[in-house]
């Protein structure tokens, strides 16, 4: 279990101010290297998600006392909140190895059967984005989760034979950002379901303090607070912003991350006070200036900002809706009164066509509403 945590922090590939910089919760390849070094190793080190952590601790402790693998675990929630970290912690707490794969990578049932047959007693199989697993592989998973057995079909047509293959008892940990896309039979086979929530700014400050210590960054309290409030309630984004502010502090300042340094660095990287990046603001600007606040269809809005429709819908819109800057209506997307105010534009005299709704910008990290529609 030491491999995922022992990578050098110097393996990070830095990006300068000239590179496109965003606050997407999705992780890039180089970022995963740094994330693995910053991940907590135990539930006591894990910050945030108190309810899920407490419930999971009881599940794991009960299983260890009985000497049996714990029930299968499903972790759902937006990206960047710690689902992979918790999966690795489960293996660490149980003292077993963790085999990692993803739903899109399992295209055939034979791929999954080979993976399951190589698991040792009590091992943890972590499947990220489990809602995207192929249907034949999902059906094979049903029997493996319940009876620790898989049927391998040999041959084709009338002569095909199903050979039962016993596998070692294991724990499946599934992670998904779209719990509503899971089929009922698969969802019902998980004994524990944890819903990950967005972090409060105070929790993100604890995450930043821990990461700063590991990275050797001198981070002041006001500097931490400035980064935390622009991090969209997501630890992955907070750690990413910390690394970029560290770069600025080392090159343009004395190396200390203060509030003034953090503000200057984030302004350079186009991250504003609410955590909006260039694309978020481009969507709002297009909606307000070109379409008079809407309503307008997402396809038209995507063309206006030069992006694909799914990028606007899946990357930008969830945060803009959660922050109260954009509303989805039956007629299309509409900029709220808060969006006009955030852009420094006067609100139209006729008001916002939202049926009387005038959203107020909120701290993005304090909302418990789901980021993705299930």
Q: Pick the catalytic residue from 84, 171, 176, 336.
A: 84
Residue 147 labeled ligand binder: yes
Contacts of 264 (CB under 8 A, 6+ apart): 248, 252
Residues 6+ apart with CB under 8 A from 104: 129, 132, 133
Q: What is the C-alpha to C-alpha distance for residues 334 and 292, in angstroms, rounded to an integer?
A: 9
- Annotated active-site residue 7? The verdict is no
29 annotated as ligand-binding: no
Burial code (b: 16+ CB inside 10 Å, e: under 16) for 272-300 equals: eebbbbbbbbbbbbbbbeebebbbbebee
| Distance, CA of 374 to CA of 359 (rounded, Å) | 23
User: Is 85 within any annotated ligand binding site?
Assistant: yes
Told to judge if 10 belongs to the known catalytic residues of this protein, a careful annotator would answer: no
Active-site annotation holds for 259: no
> CB under 8 Å to 65, separation ≥6 — which residues?
none
The token pair at 200 is 């409060």
Q: Which of 83, 232, 240, 322 is catalytic?
A: 83
Q: How many CB atoms lie within 10 A of CB 113?
A: 20
Is 331 annotated as ligand-binding? no
**Closest to 278 measured CA to CA, from 243, 252, 249, 315:** 315
Q: Exposed/middle/buried for 147, CB within 10 Å: 0-12, 13-18, 19+? A: exposed
Q: Is 328 annotated as a binding residue?
A: yes
Kindly write down the DSSP assignment for every residue of 123-180, as one continuous string. -EEEEETGGGS-HHHHHHHHHHHHHSEEEEEESSGGG-EEEEEE----EEEEEES-GG
* DSSP 8-state code for residue 333: E
How wide is the angle at C-alpha 323 spanned by C-alphas 241 and 291, nearest 5°? 110
Task: Tell the residue number behind the tokens 């991350």, with chain if given.
Answer: 257
Is 236 a known active-site residue?
Answer: yes
- Is residue 199 a known part of a binding site? yes
Q: Which of 96, 123, 128, 246 is catalytic?
A: 128
The reply, when asked if residue 268 is annotated as ligand binding, is: no
99 is in an annotated binding site: no
Q: Closest by alpha carbon to 324, among 360, 348, 283?
A: 360
> 277 catalytic, yes or no?
no
Is 174 labeled as ligand-binding? Answer: no
State the catalytic residue, choosing from 96, 171, 176, 177. Answer: 177
Q: Is 248 annotated as contributing to ligand binding?
A: no
CB 5 within 8 A of CB 40: no
Q: Which of 229, 230, 232, 236 is catalytic?
A: 236
User: Residues comprising the binding site for DNA?
Assistant: 328, 333
Query: Which residues are known to be catalytic?
Result: 83-84, 128, 177, 236
User: Residues comprising the binding site for ATP?
Assistant: 38-39, 80, 83-85, 146-148, 189, 199, 236
User: Residues comprising the binding site?
Assistant: 38-39, 80, 83-85, 146-148, 189, 199, 236, 328, 333
User: Residues comprising the binding site for Mg(2+)?
Assistant: 84
């Amino acid at each position: 279990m030491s491999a995922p945590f022992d990578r050098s922090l110097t393996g990070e590939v830095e990006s300068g101010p000239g590179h496109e910089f965003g606050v997407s919760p999705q992780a890039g390849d180089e970022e995963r290297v740094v994330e693995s070094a910053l991940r907590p190793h135990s539930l006591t080190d894990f910050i945030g998600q108190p309810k899920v952590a407490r419930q999971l601790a009881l599940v794991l402790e009960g299983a260890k006392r009985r000497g049996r693998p714990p029930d299968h675990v499903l972790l759902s929630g937006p990206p960047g909140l710690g689902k992979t970290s918790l999966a690795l912690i489960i293996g660490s707490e149980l003292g077993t190895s963790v085999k990692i794969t993803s739903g899109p990578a399992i295209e055939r049932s034979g791929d999954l059967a080979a993976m399951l047959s190589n698991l040792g007693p009590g091992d943890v199989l972590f499947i990220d984005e489990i809602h995207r697993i192929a249907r034949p592989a999902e059906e094979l998973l049903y029997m493996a989760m319940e009876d620790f057995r898989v049927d391998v079909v040999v041959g084709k047509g009338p002569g095909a034979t199903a050979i039962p293959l016993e596998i070692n008892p294991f724990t499946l940990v599934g992670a998904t950002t779209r719990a509503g896309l899971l089929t009922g039979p698969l969802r019902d086979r998980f004994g524990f379901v944890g819903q990950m929530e967005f972090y409060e700014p105070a929790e993100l400050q604890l995450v930043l303090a821990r990461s700063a210590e590991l990275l050797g960054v001198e981070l002041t309290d006001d500097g931490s607070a400035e980064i935390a409030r622009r991090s969209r309630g997501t630890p992955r984004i907070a750690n990413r912003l910390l690394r970029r502010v560290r770069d600025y502090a080392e090159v343009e300042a004395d190396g200390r991350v203060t509030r003034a340094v953090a503000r200057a660095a984030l302004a350079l990287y186009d991250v504003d006070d609410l955590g909006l990046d260039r694309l978020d603001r481009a969507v709002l600007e297009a909606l307000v200036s070109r379409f008079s606040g809407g309503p307008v269809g997402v396809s038209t809005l995507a063309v206006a900002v030069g992006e694909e429709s799914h990028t606007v819908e899946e990357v930008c819109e969830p945060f803009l809706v959660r922050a109260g800057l954009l509303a989805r209506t039956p007629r299309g997307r509409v900029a709220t009164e808060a969006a006009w105010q955030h852009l420094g534009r006067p609100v139209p005299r006729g008001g916002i066509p939202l049926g009387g709704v005038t959203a107020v910008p909120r701290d993005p990290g304090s909302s418990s509403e789901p980021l993705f529609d299930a």
